[in-house]
Amino acid sequence: MTEEIDAGNHFDFITSVMKENEIFLLRKAEEAYDEVLSLIEDAIDYIGFSVKGEKSKENYLRYSRVFFIHHILMPSSYAIQTDLLTGNLPVCFMELRVMLESLVKCYLADLKYPDESSFQKKLELLEKETKMKNGTKISKREHDFIEEFDRELGLNKRSIKLWGKLSQDWIHTRGIVDRITKEITEKSAAPSWTFIIPIKYIESDLDTIDELHKRISQFRSLLKAVIENYQ
């Protein structure tokens, strides 16, 4: 594979791997690939929702949710598709966690600071929030905001559970090490994504692709709840 990269056009190599991976996904993981494409379609639909009306420019500057849809949801959705096609599965999960954290904070910023005229100011105020722990005032962390988000929307801890899975399995070193070790133990081979990117998928990657399918579906459900709440 190294010789292939060194000898020719690296861009052509990347696109050829992406094409083969798309064929693999369409044949063996069509539902997972459809879920990724549906996330992109959601982003496009919500862009339309966010720019409607005479005050679309004012809303763009004022509301954190509009910022989220335009500058986090839209590009990150396309990025997940690109990374999926290159075989870069870990980054797909990482991007999904960033999207979840951003969704939570943008929703809470609009909810808690409705009188502020700038989404940036709202988010700054949110980041400065504190809580009491053992008689000491400490800064709130992502976990605190996500728990609050679940309570506000009556989500029965769905977002904190999703965030926990994404964090433990795909962000923290121990989670990644445990996953690779488990794959080698159970399948006698390391996952394809532990070598080089881009890389062609193999049969043993299907479990991880299916997990991505589930996590994206869970995120889309949370996203829908937020949009419906705004409407």
pLDDT in tens, 154-211: 999 999 999 999 999 888 778 888 877 877 777 767 788 888 899 999 999 999 999 9
2 is a domain residue = no
The pLDDT tens digits of the residues spanning 54-79 come to 567 788 889 999 999 999 999 999 99
Q: Is residue 193 part of a domain?
A: yes
What residue has token string 């966010």?
50
Q: Collect all residues with Cβ–Cβ distance below 8 Å to 200 and sequence separation of at least 6.
A: 17, 20, 21, 24, 87, 192
Instruction: Report if residue 129 sits inside a domain.
Output: no
Query: What's residue 8's pLDDT?
Result: 55
Residue 5 has pLDDT above 70, yes or no: no
- What's the total number of domains in the chain? 1
Residue 69 belongs to a domain: yes
Residue 207 domain-assigned (yes or no): yes
Task: Note the pTM of the prediction, 2 decimals.
Answer: 0.90
CB-count burial class (<10 Å; 0-12, 13-18, 19+) for 115:
exposed
> Which pLDDT does position 7 carry in this prediction?
45
**Which pLDDT does position 10 carry in this prediction?**
84
Is residue 3 pLDDT above 60, yes or no? no
Structural domain for 93, as ranges: 8-118+140-230
Would 213 be classed as within a structural domain? Answer: yes
Per the domain annotation, does 31 fall within a domain? Answer: yes
Question: Phi, psi at residue 137, to the nearest 5°?
Answer: -85, 125
Residue 50 within any structural domain of the chain: yes
Q: So what's the pLDDT on residue 2?
A: 46
